[in-house]
Amino acid sequence: MPGSLQFFVTSSRDVLAGQNKGNEHKLGDWGFEVIASPAMTPEAKAAAKAARAAKKAAKAKTAV
């Protein structure tokens, strides 16, 4: 909702993130919590999803 505190904080975050593209850790200087771990590639996400599905299928099969 425009005008709310959440709106102003997220807008500030978005502007600072744009200005610090590639140096996102600098947002910590402004009080934001920054998680400094690399993002998963699409291939890694797909592999993790397949592994979860296989684990779930194996568990369902042993439950029968």
Number of domains comprising the chain: 1
Token pair 């029968």: residue: 64
Q: Going residue by residue through the chain (64 aa), what tens digit of pLDDT does each one get?
A: 788 999 999 999 899 989 988 888 898 998 888 887 777 888 989 999 999 999 999 888 887 6
b/e map 19-52, b = 16+ CB within 10 Å: eeeeeeeebeeeeeeeeeeeeeeeeeeeeeeeee
> Quick check: 34 and 24 in contact, CB under 8 A?
yes
Q: Which domain holds residue 55?
A: 5-63
Phi-psi map region of 22: left, alpha, beta (phi>0 left; psi -120 to 50 alpha)? left
